[in-house]
Amino acid sequence: MTASPDYQAILETIAAKVRPLAAQGRVADYIPELAKVPADKFAMAVHTLDGRRFAVGDADERFSIQSISKLFTLLMALRMKKETLWQRVGREPSGNPFNSLVQLEHEQGIPRNPFINAGALVITDVLCRHFVQADRAVLEFLRRLSGATDLNFDSAVAESEAEHGYRNAAMANFIKSFGNLDSPVDTVLQSYFRQCAVRMSCQELATAGLLLANHGTVPASGEALLTPSEAKRINAILLTCGTYDAAGDFAFRVGLPAKSGVGGGILAILPGELAVAVWSPALDENGNSLAGAMALEHFTTLTGRSVF
């Protein structure tokens, strides 16, 4: 059996290599509250299925997870709706920006996948029909997976998103016009903005990600939340759709299923072994963390670990 890599040494090497990249990206200034986050922040955490934890940088500092929340809302919706979920949202890469409305017209209000904004709104609608307060249910689910009972929303970020969320509002109304949104548009939007504003650290995200690394079972409790088949399928969608319209390039460079967010976080999964979370707020042109994506590329290169 191949010896386990020296993850701590590798993380420290990666941090030294990628920190300078932050100066080349820009924070998500279209959400004013996110624009206030220092661009030079960096953190990375690796949690393995056998209980080892490694970290570098600001790995205990919480940040707005933004679209990483879409992974966990998909998990919740899939548990409830099973295969019928795919009647309302597709499983294909979009090839367009995450906030594009273009495809909805041609595809009759069925979003291309659950990780673009349109798809995430449909998933949020599923939760809104099932829970009295869907955003609270998402928060409790994240607390359960991460083991951090004090996780909470960043109300200032949620309010900032709501105040400037015209495109998401247009998208939700457009989907509603095709009959693919059952709840009131405002209910869906407010829940969506709040789930994106949950604050988590890289350590907490890596712990939460172990569910998918462990084929649908929470390692700490042994609780099976997904079947191995469901976990496999979610990992597949992460690989093909999880990093916006850069998913192909990300798979080529990194080779791990991953979900990114415009808060600068990326959560990646190596099934059967580990979860790794990285945070660097400065983004590339696709909305992915510039230093974060490079850190994960170095990680798979230096460890020799990927799904390929």
pTM for this entry: 0.96
The pLDDT of residue 72 is above 80: yes
Number of residues that this document lists for the chain: 308
Q: Is 10 left (phi over 0), alpha (psi -120 to 50) or beta?
A: alpha
The pLDDT of residue 303 is above 90: yes
The pLDDT of residue 67 is above 70: yes
User: How far apart are alpha carbons 165 and 262 in whole angstroms?
Assistant: 14
Structure tokens at 171: 């998208």
Domain parsing of the chain, residue ranges:
7-64+199-303, 67-196
Please tell me whether 286 is known to bind a ligand: no
Same fold, 7-64+199-303 and 67-196: yes
pLDDT above 90 coverage of the chain, percent? 86
Q: For tokens 């809302």, what's the residue?
A: 73
Strands 198-200 and 63-64: antiparallel
Please tell me whether 117 is known to bind a ligand: yes
How big is the CA angle at 288 (ends 79 and 263), to the nearest 5 degrees? 75
pLDDT of residue 107: 83
Please tell me whether 67 is known to bind a ligand: yes
Please tell me whether 229 is known to bind a ligand: no
Read off the pLDDT of residues 78-122 as tens digits, 9 standing for 90 and up: 999 999 999 999 999 977 766 677 778 888 899 999 999 999 999
Read off the pLDDT of residues 118-149 as tens digits, 9 standing for 90 and up: 999 999 999 999 999 999 999 999 999 999 99
Residue 79: exposed, middle, or buried by beta-carbon count in 10 A (0-12, 13-18, 19+)?
Answer: middle
Read off the pLDDT of residues 163-188 as tens digits, 9 standing for 90 and up: 988 999 999 999 999 999 999 999 99
Indicate which residues carry an active-site annotation. 67, 70, 192, 244, 262
For the domain covering 7-64+199-303, report its CATH number. 3.40.710.10
- Between the CA atoms of 123, 125, 130 and 133, what dihedral angle is there, to the nearest 10 degrees? 110
User: How far apart are alpha carbons 9 and 298 in whole angstroms?
Assistant: 12
pLDDT of residue 288: 94
Give the contacts of 43 (CB within 8 A, at least 6 positions apart): 55, 56, 57, 58, 59, 61, 201, 202, 277, 278, 279, 280
Read off the pLDDT of residues 15-53 as tens digits, 9 standing for 90 and up: 999 999 888 889 988 888 898 999 999 999 999 999 999
Fold type of domain 67-196 = Beta-lactamase (3.40.710)
Question: What letter does residue 120 receive in the DSSP assignment?
Answer: H
